């Protein structure tokens, strides 16, 4: 199989990668962003939000995923949250003087150096803060904008993350990244497998959030009815392309972890979700729904196989 290389929405994995390198990790000892993405376990699982009629082909909570990934790597960091905006800004200023600060979730709608920020309110995002100056911050944004500047007031609005559903506290930041133990890639994968099993089985059961295979079936039902414009845009511009890339990275991750059967299932899902892009653009949503149902059938097999991990 030919691997995919290109742009993608790996904001927290790319931010973690930059933070590790910026904290002194030798480049040959830092796993690729695709491997880090798998350590977060976000490529595994599905979510359907009934209130917004939005589907996510992921484990839903990248904040928890980052904590998992950092621990699995054998690293630690200073995780801080809450307080008022002046306390948060003071913490950020102090931490950035010592090294990179991984900030997020942020509300992308307030990151006004993005040309499309006004259309992205409520979308979560992660960045690396390099420096806090008098009235603005200097940022490496993994969404293709290095050395971005942003007024502190705008950053604080984004950093409150009030519209991000999986976070209950404001001003989340991670700094002072340090290794605490040497962990082999084989051991990292072994540590991650139980979390993958947990993610693919996870179904909160509603009434607002559903998961696992049921989330996929609910998405297919929605696509066979009247497809909201926001859902169409979400799937075509974000969710489906991201899910394909994640599945390809997850396939490589599980092949390395000696799980060839599940890896093959992920490749089949990647192909199906990739095939959904063309009929989706043509608004042939019943065809997309049929592909999603096939993805759900494969997910059932994935859950059955992973139950033995």
244-298 per-position pLDDT tens digit: 999 999 999 999 999 999 999 999 999 999 999 999 999 999 999 999 999 999 9
273 in the same domain as 212 = yes
Are 218 and 248 in the same domain?
yes
98 half-sphere exposure, CB direction, 13 A CA radius: 13
Residues 117 and 15 in one domain: yes
User: Terminal CA-to-CA distance of the chain, rounded, Å?
Assistant: 26
> Residue 3 pLDDT more than 90?
no
Q: Are strands 54-56 and 145-151 parallel, antiparallel or unpaired?
A: unpaired
As a whole number, the mean pLDDT across the chain is 96
Within this chain, do residues 143 and 261 fall inside the same structural domain, yes or no?
no
pLDDT on residue 4: 73
Banded model confidence at residue 9, pLDDT cuts 50, 70, 90: confident
For residue 101, give both structure tokens: 């600060």
Provide the greatest CA pair distance for the chain.
55
Confidence at residue 264, expressed as pLDDT on a 0 to 100 scale: 98
Nearest to 154 by CA among 131, 128, 136, 174: 136
Asked whether residue 24 is assigned to any structural domain, the reply reads yes
pLDDT tier for residue 238 given thresholds of 50, 70 and 90:
very high
Q: What are phi and psi of 61, to 5 degrees?
A: -125, 85
**Helical packing angle, 62-73 and 185-201, nearest 10°:** 150
Tokens, residue 28: 């040959």
Query: What is d(CA 26, CA 208) in angstroms, rounded to the nearest whole number?
Result: 44
pLDDT at 5 over 90: no
Residue 39 lies in a domain: no
pLDDT single digits (tens) 134-183: 899 999 999 999 999 999 999 999 999 999 999 999 999 999 999 999 99
For residues 204 and 295, membership in a common domain is answered with yes
Domain membership of residue 297 (yes or no) is: yes
pTM listed for this prediction:
0.95
Which pLDDT does position 7 carry in this prediction? 75
In a domain, 282, yes or no: yes
Three-class secondary structure of residue 225 per DSSP: coil
Does 133 lie in the same domain as 205?
Answer: no
pLDDT attached to residue 41: 98
The answer, yes or no, to whether residue 1 has pLDDT greater than 80, is no
**Residues 111, 224 within the same domain:** no
- 208 touches 49 (CB < 8 A): yes
pLDDT value for 275: 98
pLDDT in tens, 220-232: 999 999 899 999 9
**Gap between the Cα atoms of 133 and 141, Å rounded:** 17
Residues 238 and 131 both lie in one domain:
no
Confidence (pLDDT) at 164: 94
Do 115 and 227 share a structural domain?
no
Q: Are 144 and 22 within one domain?
A: yes
Q: Kindly state the tokens that stand for 4.
A: 């995919």
* Per-residue pLDDT tens digits for 65-113: 999 999 999 999 999 999 999 999 999 999 999 999 999 999 999 999 9
DSSP 6: S
174 and 195 part of one domain: no
Boundary of a domain, candidates 179, 211, 242: 179
Across the range 183-192, mean pLDDT stands at 98
149 part of a folded domain: yes
Identify the band that residue 60 occupies on the pLDDT scale cut at 50, 70 and 90: confident
| Average pLDDT of span 105-128 | 95
How far apart, in whole angstroms, are the C-alpha atoms of residue 292 and residue 209?
18
Which of 179, 206, 235 finishes a domain? 179
Q: Which helix (H) or strand (E) holds 37?
A: helix 33-39
The residue segments making up the domain with residue 90 are 11-30+75-179
Question: Is residue 122 domain-shared with residue 197, that is, in the same domain?
Answer: no
The Cα 299–Cα 212 span in angstroms is 8
Rounded CA separation 58/43 (Å) = 5
Domain count across the chain:
2
User: Which one of 157, 179, 201 terminates a domain?
Assistant: 179
């Amino acid at each position: 199989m030919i691997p995919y290389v290109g742009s993608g929405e790996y904001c927290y994995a790319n931010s973690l990668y930059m933070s590790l390198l910026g904290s002194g990790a030798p480049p040959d000892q830092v796993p690729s962003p695709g491997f880090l993405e798998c350590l977060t376990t976000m490529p595994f699982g599905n979510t359907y939000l009934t209130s917004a009629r939005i589907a996510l082909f992921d484990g839903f909570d990248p904040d928890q995923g980052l904590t998992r990934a950092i621990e699995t790597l054998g690293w630690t960091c200073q995780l801080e949250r809450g307080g008022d905006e002046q306390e948060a800004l003071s913490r950020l200023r102090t931490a950035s003087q010592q090294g990179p600060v991984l900030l997020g979730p942020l509300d992308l709608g307030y990151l006004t150096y993005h040309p499309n920020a006004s259309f992205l309110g409520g979308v979560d995002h992660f960045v690396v803060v390099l420096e806090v100056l008098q009235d603005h911050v200097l940022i490496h944004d993994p969404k293709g904008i290095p050395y971005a500047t942003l007024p502190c007031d705008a950053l604080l609005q984004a950093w409150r993350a009030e519209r991000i559903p999986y976070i209950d506290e404001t001003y989340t930041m991670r700094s002072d990244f340090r290794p605490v133990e040497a962990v082999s890639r084989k051991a990292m994968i072994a540590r991650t497998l139980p979390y993958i099993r947990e993610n693919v089985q996870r179904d909160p059961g509603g009434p607002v959030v559903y998961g696992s295979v049921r989330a996929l079936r609910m998405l297919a039902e929605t696509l066979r009815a009247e497809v909201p414009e926001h859902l169409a845009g979400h799937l075509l511009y974000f969710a489906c392309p991201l899910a394909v890339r994640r599945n390809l990275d997850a396939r490589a991750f599980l092949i390395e972890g000696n799980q060839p059967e599940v890896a093959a299932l992920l490749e089949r899902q990647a192909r199906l979700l990739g095939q959904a892009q063309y009929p989706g653009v043509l608004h042939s949503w019943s065809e997309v729904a049929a592909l999603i149902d096939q993805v759900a059938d494969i997910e059932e097999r994935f859950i059955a196989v992973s139950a033995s991990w």
